[in-house]
Chains A and B, each alone.
Chain A
Amino acid sequence: MITAPLLLMTVLLPLASLILALSPRWQKIYRYSLPLLPVPAIVAGLTVELHNWLEMPWLLMGGTWGLDELRQSFLLLTSILWATAGIFAVGYLNTRKLRAFCVFWALTLSGNLGLIISVDLASFYSFFAVMTFAAYGLVVHEGSDEANRAGRVYLAMAVAGEMALLTGLLMAAQHADSVLLTELPAAIAESERSWLIVALLVAGFGVKAGLPFLHFWLPLAHPVAPTPASAVLSGAMIKAGLLGWLVTLPFGELALPAWGNTLVVLGATGAIGGAMLGLKQVRPKTILAYSSISQMGLITLMVGAAMANTSQAATLLSVIALYALHHGLAKGCLFLSTAVELPTERRFRWILCLLIGLPGLSLAGLPFTSGAAAKFAMKDALKPEQYDFSMADYLPLVMSAGAVATMLLIWRFLWALSRSVGTGRNHRFKSLGWMAAMACSMVAFWFLPGAGSGTGHAWFVLTPSESWSLIWPIMLATGIAVAWWIARGRNGSWFQC
């Protein structure tokens, strides 16, 4: 009943908010309305009946919007992250170029939400493009030379990606003779040029998803944006590329072991290489950006496995959604923390320090965090014996290495943050936003519809062996970090606070 208005509002509310940009007098209102923009999306994600398509035949090439399990999970992740980042932004922003920021924020948001609820190709591609181009405004918002350079690289790669997508989608749609995304995978599977189409789609979405060798823009662009924007870039928008893969590639239709191998190799490269490069960075946000590449690399492993194996595809897809949910929320928190000021009174500091570190540990898979749930589900789903493509045997190794690398990177981040963090009072909304993000990542995660799906395992009831498998990489990484810290003998580390 209520599906249609909610879905429409999801997109239209952010778009309608552009009216507030018409007059400079309204910019204060605009600023305070930022957190409200994703609210219809959250409501939609929680309440809308799944698989109930909203048909709009007059829209573009014929529009169809709606939610299924996958989209629901992504929608919730995206809208929650945007909402918390929005709250944070209220406190974070100063009045300089405020209107411009709000406009690009709202546009990017509508694109990001819209592409998730789109079931037809044209809407999906449209929202994808809106998000891509509007995000440029967020990237270059600071106006520094560095930001401009990052913006240029971002835009060049984004446009190239769009073109790859256009070509791939065109070929797929022509073959499917339909503009429904749901029809595409089957059509691609049947097409005699499936190899080319898959290549184009993987590359096209890969730009957004930070696939290795297509990632160059990511460590440049994510850090230079204003912090709330970085959070959504790394937490939510990067997932748009992932979602693109999930809805277009022929999972479960066609076993493509060659692609499985390729993606696994790429994923491993991303997971480990990204972390390696990240370790060399000194700026917290850059480190986080590399961490995103690394995490996306892990997800790519699952995508590759799903490509190679038709029977596991459905399971993997839900695990991917879970992982994406976890990573998005956690990464959002981490990014927001980079702009949090420590309190001047020493006794509150340790709480704050702990809270800042918590999402990082969650990323590394600390038991009883969302990361543990995601990691465990991934390990479960990627057991080599279920697969028969050649790279399958290396999956556990890569995952373990990835986990160690993740934790190392988190230590590096915390170290870098400790050197750059300032003290002072936080704006009310800044604290509120950050706390909200934290709450979502730590608590609300468990209650979201996507989290419970998967294999039906109760995630916080872990056996010791299971716990151990999660904890040893953390311990190992911590050991390496401490060793390195002692070896460097440098002062001014994390423990100073």
Chain B
Amino acid sequence: MTASALLPVFALMTSLTAAIIIFTLPEQKHRLRTVVNLTAALLKLLLVGLMIWGVFQGREYGVSFTMVPGVDFVLRADALAMLFAGLSAALWLLTTVYAVGYLEGSPNRSRFFGFFSLCVASTMGIALAGNLFTFFLFYEMLTLSTYPLVVHRGTQQALRAGRTYIIYTLTGGAVLLLGISLLHSFAGDLPFRPGGHFAGIGPDLQAPLSIVFVILIAGLGVKAAIVPLHGWLPTAMVAPAPVSALLHAVAVVKAGAFGIVRVVFEIYGLETANALGLLSGLAAIAAFTIVYGSVRALSQSDLKRRLAFSTVSQVSYIILGLCLLGPVGVAGGLVHLVHQGVMKITLFFCAGNYAETLGIHRIDELDGAGRRMPATSVAFTLAAFGMIGTPPLAGFITKWTMGTGALATGMDWVIAVLVVSSLLNAAYFLPVLNRIWFREQKDPWTEERQWGRFETSAWLLWPPLVTAAFLVLAGVLASASFSPLGWVELIVAREVGP
């Protein structure tokens, strides 16, 4: 085993090992557990950083062996994988810090952090998976490891949400499995490969390939929360804030979206998928999801629920981006993978801070929160503006890139979708901001607690501030070479060609 094989394995193992250690630690060993958590997260960030550097230099990392006859287990670090791996490694660290603060003094922490680490290990696996089969392996592992997190509180509501979640995701997984095995039955084991495998296929394969595509997307679409498969997402927001943050930003929805990216780019190939007429349908669904999610978000009075519907809408940007065919549009979609993650995690962190510090859950309770918790509110504001797509924040870069890409390929209607979505985003975020900053506090906060010398616990405060700073930098420094956009352009150059 050379370093090139070991790095991806180690990246995977860090969180897996952390999970095992945490499960065996007694509940009361809080300090030790935190140390293990943070060490693993830092180590992973380091490993991923090394790989990113290597991939940037043009190196490839990978390891593979045969699992079942005809099917290989493949881990491979390419540029696309590193996009997702980098995102999840960075956000894992922050979410861990946040979760340590968030769960301070609550029961079942050992269980929580164990599954939390498992969840991140699965995400890493999804990122590094080198073929559909391996992808599926981690995809299902993710489903299983997130269930305990969703039902963590153990209330009836949480259990119900957990049930909805598991029904949706396992069914989606089953459909995905069906699609993968159908594909495997007539095409064999397909590693992910830029350009896909089906360039210039004969007419006899077109019909089955199209059907399989629909099945695959349907399976992946459950996690990506494409309408009408999104039902689990708003319910799942009963989970603790760090879990929602992770679910919405990196883990679950992104796994679905990332899978769609892999299928479209590296199994079918952009050209082929388009030639089969599949992408226009996908684009239409994504566009509908974008608008639908935003419209639903408008009428939510619970903060986290509103954010959840916003996720439904935002994740489909990624999918819509893929359907824009040209390199620029594709870059817009891919970069949103990171941007949406950073923005949404900030929003959920902040929502969690409001809930934990002031007991605020509903939007109309937010009046005057900005005065009490200015730093959190600044982070929230930046992220919300990012979501709206206000320059110079990260969301604007997405919109701009996607818009240019859409125009370049003559898909002008996408602009309308972007505009409508931005308007709706403004319509559901700006009133919230108005309440936070410009309304006077009405009633005293019921569960307010003083937590250290800052507005809230430092563990809870820093993660959203860091992500908020990141989303500003991702926008302002978009053209720097190591910005998300810069990296995505590298990917696109390798995947789609100039």
**What is the interface of chain A, defined by CB distance below 8 A to chain B?**
57-63, 100, 122-123, 125-126, 128-130, 133, 137, 140, 143, 148, 151, 155, 159-160, 162-163, 166-167, 170-171, 173-175
Contact = CB atoms under 8 A, between A and B. Distances in A.
Contacts of A159: 388, 422-423, 426, 430
Contacts of B404: 170, 173-174
A166 B476 contact: no
A58 B477 contact: yes
A319 B397 CA distance: 36
B408 A122 contact: no
17 contacts: A59-B479, A60-B392, A60-B397, A61-B479, A123-B392, A126-B391, A129-B392, A133-B390, A137-B437, A155-B430, A159-B422, A163-B422, A166-B403, A167-B403, A170-B403, A170-B407, A171-B407
B475 interface: yes
Q: Looking at A57, A100, A129, A171, which has the most chain B CB atoms within 10 Å of its CB?
A: A129
B478 A60 contact: yes
A160 B419 CA distance: 9
Contacts of B390: 129, 133, 162
A167 B478 CA distance: 20
A317 to B, nearest CB: 26
Contacts of B445: none
Nearest to B440: A143
Interface of B: 385, 388-392, 396-397, 399-400, 403-404, 407-408, 415, 418-419, 422-423, 426, 430, 434, 437-438, 440, 475-480
B477 A170 contact: no
Contacts of B388: 159
Contact of B419 (A125, A133, A167): A167
Contacts of B418: 166
Contact of B422 (A122, A133, A151, A166): A166
B396 A126 contact: yes
Nearest to A148: B438
B477 A59 contact: yes
A143 B438 contact: yes
Contacts of B396: 126
B430 A166 contact: no
A167 B419 CA distance: 8
Contacts, number: 81
User: Closest 3 CB pairs between A and B?
Assistant: A126-B391, A126-B392, A58-B480
Contacts of B403: 166-167, 170, 174
Nearest to B402: A170
A174 B407 contact: yes
Contacts of B477: 58-59
Contacts of A60: 391-392, 397, 475-476, 478-479
A403 B288 CA distance: 52
A166 B399 contact: yes
Given A58-B480, A126-B391, A170-B415, 13 more contacts: A60-B476, A61-B479, A123-B392, A125-B391, A130-B392, A137-B438, A140-B434, A140-B438, A159-B388, A159-B430, A166-B418, A170-B404, A174-B404
Given A59-B479, A61-B478, A170-B403, A163 B419 contact: yes
A174 to B, nearest CB: 4
Q: Looking at B437, B438, B440, which has the most chain A CB atoms within 10 Å of its CB?
A: B438
A239 to B, nearest CB: 20
B419 A166 contact: yes
A62 B430 contact: no
Contacts of B392: 60, 122-123, 126, 129-130
Contacts of A129: 390-392
A137 B415 CA distance: 29
Contacts of B430: 155, 159
Contacts of A123: 392
A298 B112 CA distance: 67
A176 B396 CA distance: 19
Contacts of A63: 479
Contacts of A174: 403-404, 407-408
Contacts of A100: 437
A303 B417 CA distance: 32
Nearest to A57: B479
Contact of A133 (B385, B408, B423, B475): B385
A163 B396 CA distance: 12
Nearest to B385: A133
A126 B385 CA distance: 12
Nearest to A56: B479
Nearest to A172: B407
Nearest to B415: A167
A122 B400 contact: yes
Q: Looking at B392, B423, B434, which has the most chain A CB atoms within 10 Å of its CB?
A: B392
Contacts of B438: 137, 140, 143, 148, 151
Nearest to B431: A152
Nearest to B438: A140
Nearest to B425: A159
A355 to B, nearest CB: 35
Contacts of B397: 60-61
A307 B415 CA distance: 27
A140 B437 CA distance: 10
A61 B397 CA distance: 8
A183 to B, nearest CB: 14
A137 B439 CA distance: 12
A130 B407 CA distance: 26
A155 B434 CA distance: 11
A399 B70 CA distance: 84
Contacts of B440: 143
A135 to B, nearest CB: 13
B407 A122 contact: no
Nearest to A175: B407
A342 to B, nearest CB: 33
Given A159-B426, A163-B422, A122 B391 contact: yes
A163 B400 CA distance: 12
A88 to B, nearest CB: 23
A159 B475 CA distance: 19
Contacts of A175: 407
Contacts of B476: 59-60
A58 to B, nearest CB: 4
Contacts of A170: 400, 403-404, 407, 415
Nearest to B390: A129
Nearest to A104: B437
Nearest to B403: A170
A58 B480 CA distance: 4
Contacts of A62: 479
A393 B319 CA distance: 55
A160 B422 contact: no
Nearest to A171: B407
Q: Looking at A125, A126, A170, which has the most chain B CB atoms within 10 Å of its CB?
A: A170
A424 B422 CA distance: 49
A122 B388 CA distance: 16
A155 B480 CA distance: 32
B479 A58 contact: yes
A359 B41 CA distance: 65
A59 B474 CA distance: 10
Contacts of A126: 391-392, 396
Nearest to A140: B438
A125 B430 CA distance: 19
A59 B472 CA distance: 12
B311 to A, nearest CB: 21
A125 B396 CA distance: 10
B163 to A, nearest CB: 40
A162 B476 CA distance: 19
A160 B423 contact: yes
A23 B76 CA distance: 49
A166 B403 CA distance: 9
A56 to B, nearest CB: 9
A100 B436 CA distance: 13
